[in-house]
Structure 1
Amino acid sequence: MRPFLLLAARDHDEVADDEYRAFCAYSGLAPDELHRVRAEAASLPEIRLEDYSGVILGGSPFTASDPVEDKGPVQIRVEAEIRALLDRIVAADFPFLGACYGVGILGTHRGAVVDRRFGEPVGAVKVRLSAVGLNDPICAGLDPAFFAFVGHKEAVRTLPPDAALLAGSDTCPVQMFRFRKNLYATQFHPELDHTGLERRIDAYRHSGYFPPHEAESVKERARGVLVTEPQKILANFVARYGA
């Protein structure tokens, strides 16, 4: 099997390493089957799509829909390089799965309206599959409604007509979508478990996702919710596209 590629854009080493652990664990991929490139650390190397089975874009503290004047030079570079890669991925309809930050990147690339109207606080929300989602192979075996971890400042407000809505929630109508046949994005984190969530709460407590003094109560609320379904999306993605 050709390996998969994980593009990461996190400036916090502990969180980045835990994200990689989770993507490996829940996709069923060994480290040599999931190559990681940390886009924030240096310019992207040459990436030949034919060397990979698929591309996964992880989360990030970056907010894709912010005005360019509010973005730092690293974010500007990272987004320009990822968008250039997406040009090739979209043209080839190459297997792609964007998680959280991937919604903003893929959404804006394809003409979706992405803004802060449907941002959600850190925690678990109930996600419901659409009729299309119930029949999509990436959602195979998922419960029609399930809890998933979220925590985002931006979200898709309006999908373009050529996108398929796969899932939504009461607080965020676009939780998962597909473009063409093989381009996916989730607003929730399919890789995130309780351990990873608590690590991110500690790392980003001063990043505007919640009042810093509420960090422990955010953790406590999350501990009371069972989150096991979203990880199936990763296993399904690898099963469908691994070759």
Structure 2
Amino acid sequence: MKPFLILQLRPEAEASDDEYAAFLAKGGLRPDQTRRIRLEQEDLPELDLSDFAGVIVGGGPGCVSDAPDTKDPLEAKIETEILSLMPQITEQDVPFMGCCYGIGILAHHLGATVSKAQYGEAVGPSLCELTPEGAADPLLAGLPAQFHAFVGHKEAVQHLPDGAVHLLASAPCPFQMIRYKQNVYATQFHPEADSAGFELRIRIYRNKGYFPPEEADSLIAMCRAADVHTPEKILRNFVARYAV
């Protein structure tokens, strides 16, 4: 089996390690079936994407829509490196799953507007709903028409990119999941996140502007009470579909 390329952006080791462990557990992968690159620690090497079964991009605190002169230099470097892969991914229809930050990268590459103008969502579970196209998509096969997923994002895709298919929506944020061509996917929510993982992120990012720091304990309680298990099936379906 070819390995899956997992690109991570989180500068906090605890958050990065937990995210990677979630990708393994929810995707049904072993470490030896992946190549993990932490882009905050190393430069992106020259890669032949045909060597991989697919590409998974994790989340992070950066925002694609931030002005270049306001971006953290490390976040700007990471963004540039991931964007450098997108022409090959989209032109060759390389299997791709962009999680949260990944939908901003994909939409931006495709020429859509990504901004903080509207559709941001507070930290917590969001009720997502399949579109007719989503109901027919193989990655969403067997999923209920509505399910909760964990979100927390300041920016969002403002309109569907040209050539993209709209798969999942929510009331606060219409573009929760999209597909480009046949194999390039991205979600606004975190398909790998469960209550324990999101609790950890709330603790780590409590001072990153996602929510007032004093609300951290109540958000953790809300996440613990949430029944969020369906999104991980999307990640499992992605791995099962593209494992070669």
> Fold conserved (TM > 0.5)?
yes
Query: Does 2:41 align with 1:61?
Result: no
**Which residue is equivalent to 2:73?**
73
Give the Cα separation in 2 of the matches to 1:57 and 1:190.
Answer: 11
Count matched residues: 243
**Which residue is equivalent to 2:52?**
52
**Which residue is equivalent to 1:227?**
228
**Which residue is equivalent to 1:211?**
212
Give the Cα separation in 2 of the matches to 1:224 and 1:40.
Answer: 33
Give the Cα separation in 2 of the matches to 1:218 and 1:240.
Answer: 34
Divergent runs of 4+, >4 A: none
Residue 161 of structure 1 and its aligned partner are, at CA, apart by 3.2
RMSD over aligned Cα atoms = 0.8
- Code of the residue aligned with 2:158 in structure 1: it is R
- Code of the residue aligned with 1:229 in structure 2: it is T
- 8 Å CA contact 2:191, 2:235 repeated in 1: yes
- 8 Å CA contact 2:107, 2:113 repeated in 1: yes
- 8 Å CA contact 2:24, 2:31 repeated in 1: yes
SS at 2:158 equivalent: strand
Spell out the pairing of 1:47-126 with structure 2 (5 A cutoff).
47-116=47-116, 117-126=118-127
Give the Cα separation in 1 of the matches to 2:243 and 2:20.
Answer: 18
**Which residue is equivalent to 1:184?**
185
- Code of the residue aligned with 2:110 in structure 1: it is R
SS at 2:119 equivalent: coil
Give the Cα separation in 2 of the matches to 1:77 and 1:26.
Answer: 28
**Which residue is equivalent to 1:132?**
133
Give the Cα separation in 2 of the matches to 1:42 and 1:34.
Answer: 17
- Code of the residue aligned with 1:29 in structure 2: it is L
Give the Cα separation in 1 of the matches to 2:129 and 2:110.
Answer: 23
SS at 1:148 equivalent: strand
**Which residue is equivalent to 1:193?**
194
Give the Cα separation in 2 of the matches to 1:17 and 1:36.
Answer: 10
Q: TM-score, normalised by structure 2?
A: 0.98
* Percent of residue pairs bearing the same amino acid type: 50
Residue deviations 1:66-117 (CA, integer Å, cap 9, x gap): 1111112212211111111111111111000000000111110011111111
Runs of 5+ consecutive residues of structure 2 not aligned to the other structure: none
**Which residue is equivalent to 1:155?**
156
Mean Cα deviation higher: 227-236 or 76-85: 76-85
Give the Cα separation in 1 of the matches to 2:215 and 2:83.
Answer: 35
Residue deviations 1:26-62 (CA, integer Å, cap 9, x gap): 1000011122101111211122112100000000100
Runs of 5+ consecutive residues of structure 1 not aligned to the other structure: none
